[in-house]
Amino acid sequence: MMKEPILLLFGYNVQKHRKVQNLSQEELAHLAGLHRTYIGMIERAEKNITLCNIEKISKALNVSIIDLLSGHES
């Protein structure tokens, strides 16, 4: 089954920002009030995330929602 491009992009950006901040999935999950396995599923584009959870993750990473939905940087 093909994964949706927007989910792949969002998951990539979450992982990129998390790693830049040297956070584990567990630490990000704690900051966002979400479960660690849910963060992993998002990063692997296995979950169609809700707007509320997008906001929680953006706040936990201290980045804008736009940053998490923007295309790959070259």
6-59 pLDDT, tens digit each: 999 999 999 999 999 999 999 999 999 999 999 999 999 999 999 999 999 999
Q: How far apart (Å, rounded) are the C-alpha atoms in residues 68 and 64?
A: 7
pLDDT tens digits, 57-68: 999 999 999 999
Helix (H, G, I), strand (E, B) or coil at 61: helix
In order of their start, the domains of the chain are 5-68 (1.10.260.40)
Confidence of residue 72 (pLDDT cuts 50, 70, 90): low
Residue 74: pLDDT band with limits 50, 70, 90: very low
In angstroms and rounded to an integer, the radius of gyration of the C-alpha atoms of the chain is 11
